[in-house]
A and B are shown apart, each in its own frame.
Chain A
């Protein structure tokens, strides 16, 4: 018989080892899955994890890693602050869209003026847009005690409608021959979030993501506000006793995650995407929830998790085209990773005992 026994102290070793063990287990089980589908398992795993980094076309895939990873990390950092305090912003996708729309809107309003202040203004308004969109569930929660999960999630669909309306109407490119979508910001120098070093994928969004990681780390470990966030998540009554104002905390956490999601949207629309279009959003806001948990809500963990997630996306795409793996198999593979992580996470707080069962 196997049974679980609660540890007196959470195991530090296991909390560090869990992600590695989970990735290993995913490789093994994923390999079996691919073998069952009649594909060469080792080749498939190698394609997913090795090809994007060191393969023949890695010069193309490596920048993609940064481009895909940066918004994930930026959004996930914001979400993790709220998640740590038990405040569940599920609507980062919506905040991402609104951030992109408002930032791009500012840029397009200035077109074709070339001035140094256009891009900083876009960044500011992008963050503000995401912040405002997140303030809706925040204010409703603090004033009327509504559920922020539902409100923020439903606002994603409102934001998507708004995106469609904008790309077909107000922000549509007047010189676009009637096609939906805005002017391409990549062709408007003052508004273009260009690569800082050509060919590397390193744009300002990547820098912002790194800054967010550092900022979150300092906030959580060295600042009273971060301490209060952790305290609220772990023991809400103790937090009240310590003097935490729950209303202020809800406003801060939702606002912060909204602003970061808005920033991610702005950097995406003014850089890699370039255009406000109906299908501009690709689910970063939702995937970031997985990234936040995969990184166990720790800033450095999120950085690694964002990189890993980006890797499996890109590697998965390659495996699809190269080995003809069905996309569903790739999704199962990514799902496995999450499940294994959560399963092995148990070992941080529990130890496994073999022997006769007994109740304590």
Chain B
């Protein structure tokens, strides 16, 4: 057996109150795509931050090519051949691709030489990218390419990728995988962090699974079923959401010729959106982030108002009503951004229960707030949705992402909505919590609620929705029944080839 590229043995890192990594071991061979699997909070981020020099381990041994490796800062890790593509890009919108890449370099070469190198790397690895373009004009997939090329210019021995496919269309994922396979064939190792088990099965050679900061196993992904891997991650048998066949009622929500200007400079304008939603139906809306998802939620929640007739509830115009009036009509929503949009980070859960619950749960009388009633409502959400928190007086930001998401979704579900609009309901949420949230949505639909589920997780949409449509540059494709749709068609809908689905039918 060859000497491993990187090995971690018994690495421990504790933060006040929590051991993020407890004697974790990880071995990456040269030229291997290694998956790091685990639920949110399992310690994946801490582990890669230690490899990348952002965090120092308390104890344990890290070796690179057999020699002890203790990077004090990312610069040192980079010098030793470790590169990382973060989930959230750090790019300047106003600068060009080449300028952005130059900013991250120790000794940037002349702009002309750099552009040449960017071109040659992008051609070699099948990542088409024009160095002169302004980053603000690029799609999410193209931005990711900037980050990847930035890393590749360092000719790394180990490339760390944190959830790279969350912003890509299926076609773009395929392109990325081709690039990664090519890198592997050249001897570069890749540490690949993801939730998406099918992707890992398609791409990775080996995997390490973490749970609650500890190693719980390793497997060869291609030889293990996604379900088995998921159960290793969660530590118990997974419940697949049950989907009962249901009959749809009459039309509840109709969105007709809805157009809205972009609310902010980098927002997306909605163009002529049409769809209708029947009672008990779940319409899934896919699409790459930034194509109008936030805006679509805003016009349905009432945060953005439009022509009254653009949005109709049971035939009555509601497009010009604000959020409070829509809540009174049982049109509820849960935005994507948990902290700062769906919930106020520094407010308690009681106060956050008041935030959307005041109208329908009678938490206020004559403008005066009934805090004990709000506390009771928050307690109910916590209990029924299994939100892990010491109590209702804890701030929203003290909850983990998954727990806060359960709170945010539960808060709306318990208010008996007629229409529920959710955006990314399980984003960054662990598998068990995601399954619980999806089950809650399905149960709600079974009781007759019409649900609009906006998500970038195609597997999720296929799992729960009855019909599927895709948002692309503010336009919505015609909804089609989910049954019988294949990934290819979905990808085309997301890529904006509206004419294509006619050709396919």
When C-beta atoms are compared, the residue in chain A nearest to B56 turns out to be A358
A-B contact pairs, 8 of them (CB 8 A): A8-B395, A224-B367, A231-B355, A238-B344, A242-B324, A242-B355, A242-B356, A358-B56
Query: B341 at the A/B interface (Cβ < 8 Å)?
Result: yes
What 4 new A-B contacts, CB under 8 Å, besides A231-B347, A245-B322?
Answer: A9-B395, A227-B369, A237-B340, A241-B333
Contact between B341 and A241, CB atoms less than 8 A apart? yes
Contact residue among B351, B367, B371, B394 (Cβ-Cβ distance under 8 Å from A225): B367
> In the complex, A186 Cα to B492 Cα: how many Å?
82
6 closest cross-chain pairs (CB), A and B: A243-B324, A243-B323, A235-B344, A237-B341, A8-B398, A238-B344
Residues from chain B with Cβ under 8 Å of A358 in the complex? 55-56
Query: A143: CB under 8 A from chain B?
Result: no
Whole-angstrom CA separation of A358 from B56 in the bound complex: 7
CB of A5 within 8 Å of the partner chain: yes
Collect the chain B residues with CB atoms within 8 Å of residue A13's CB. Answer: none
Tell me which of A223, A230, A239, A240 contacts B368 (CB under 8 A): A223
Q: Is the CB of A227 within 8 A of B337?
A: no
Q: Provide the residues of chain A in CB contact with B327, threshold 8 Å.
A: 243
Contacts of A10 in B (CB 8 A): 346, 395
Distance in Å: Cβ of A351 to nearest Cβ of chain B: 9
In B339-374, the 8 Å CB interface with A consists of 340-347, 351, 354-356, 358, 364, 367-369, 371
Question: Which one, A231, A239, A243, contacts B302 given CB within 8 A?
Answer: A243
Please, how many angstroms separate the alpha-carbon atoms of A189 and B324 in the complex?
51
Q: Is B301 an interface residue (CB 8 A)?
A: yes
Prevailing SS type, chain A contact patch: helix
B499 at the interface (CB under 8 A from A): no
Query: A238 to B397, alpha carbons, bound, how many Å?
Result: 14
Is A222 touching B346 in the complex (CB atoms < 8 A)?
no
Nearest CB on B from A1, distance (A): 13
What does the 1/0 interface line of A25-60 toward B look like (CB < 8 Å)? 000000000000000000000000000000000000
User: Which residues between 189 and 244 of chain A lie within 8 Å of chain B, taking CB atoms?
Assistant: 222-225, 227, 230-231, 234-235, 237-243
When distances are taken between beta carbons in the complex, the residues of chain A under 8 Å from B345 are 234-235
Question: With a CB–CB cut-off of 8 A, which chain B residues contact A227?
Answer: 351, 354, 369
Chain A residues near B337 (CB-CB < 8 A): 237
Say yes or no: is A2 at the interface (Cβ < 8 Å to chain B): no
B266 CB–A CB distance under 8 Å = no
Q: In whole angstroms, how far apart are the Cα atoms of A245 and B302 in the complex?
A: 11
For A9, list chain B residues within 8 Å (CB).
394-395, 398
Interface presence of B335 (CB below 8 A): yes
B238 at the interface (CB under 8 A from A): no
Q: Is A238 within 8 A of B367, CB to CB?
A: no
Chain B contact-residue range equals: 35 or more
Say how far A6's CB is from chain B's closest CB, in angstroms: 10
Residues of A at the B interface (CB closer than 8 Å) are: 5, 8-10, 222-225, 227, 230-231, 234-235, 237-243, 245, 358-360
Closest to A5 in B: B16
Q: Are A241 and B346 in contact (CB under 8 A)?
A: no
Q: Taking the complex as formed, is B138 at the interface, i.e. its CB lies under 8 A from any CB of chain A? A: no
CB distance from B363 to the nearest CB of A (A): 9
Establish whether residues A224 and B369, one from each chain, have CB atoms under 8 Å apart when the complex forms: yes
Contact (Cβ within 8 A) B364 A224: yes
Query: Separation in Å of the B346 CB from the closest CB of chain A?
Result: 5
Task: Provide the residues of chain A in CB contact with B341, threshold 8 Å.
Answer: 235, 237-238, 241
Given contacts A5-B16, A9-B398, A358-B56, contact A238 B368 (CB under 8 A): no
B303 proximal to A (CB < 8 A): yes
Please state if A224 and B303 are interface contacts (CB–CB under 8 Å): no
Contact A360 B15 (CB under 8 A): yes
Q: Kindly state whether residue B436 has any CB partner on chain A within 8 Å.
A: no
Distance in Å from the Cβ of A7 to the closest Cβ of chain B? 9
CA distance in complex: A360, B18 (Å): 13
Chain B positions within 8 Å of A242 at CB level? 323-324, 355-356
Q: Are B369 and A240 in contact (CB under 8 A)?
A: no
A235 to B368, CA, bound (A): 21
Chain B proximity of A235: nearest CB distance (Å): 4
Bound Cα distance A349, B345 (Å): 13
Contact B369 A223, beta carbon cutoff 8 Å:
yes
Interface string of B286-328 (1 = CB under 8 A from A): 0000000000000001110000000000000000001110010
User: What B residues does A238 contact at CB under 8 A?
Assistant: 340-344, 355
Instruction: Answer yes or no: B54 CB below 8 A from chain A CBs.
Output: yes
| A residues near B55, Cβ cutoff 8 Å | 358-360
Q: Residues of B contacting A237 with CB < 8 Å?
A: 337, 340-341
Complex CA gap A341/B391 in Å reads 31
Bound form: Cα–Cα A360–B13 in Å: 11
CB-CB contacts of B266-284 with A at 8 A, as 1s and 0s?
A: 0000000000000000000
Docked Cα-Cα span, A227 to B352, in Å, equals 11
Cα–Cα distance between A225 and B358 once the two chains are bound (Å): 12
A222-B369, A237-B337, A238-B341 known; A243 vs B322 contact (CB < 8 Å): yes
Within 8 A of A (CB), among B65-106: none
- Cα separation A131 to B56 with both chains bound (whole Å): 57
A234, B395: Cα distance in complex, Å: 12
Closest to B355 in A: A242
In the complex, A230→B352 CA distance in Å?
12
Complex Cα gap A358–B395 (Å): 26
CB-CB nearest in chain A for B323: A243
| Chain B nearest CB, measured from A225 CB (Å) | 7
Question: In angstroms, how far is the closest chain B Cβ from the Cβ of A246?
Answer: 11
- Closest chain A CB from B403 CB (angstroms): 13
Contacts of A222 in B (CB 8 A): 368-369, 371
Complex contacts, B344 vs chain A, CB 8 Å: 231, 234-235, 238-239
**Distance A10 CA – B302 CA, assembled complex (angstroms):** 32
Best-surrounded residue of A8, A224, A243 (most CB of chain B within 10 A):
A243
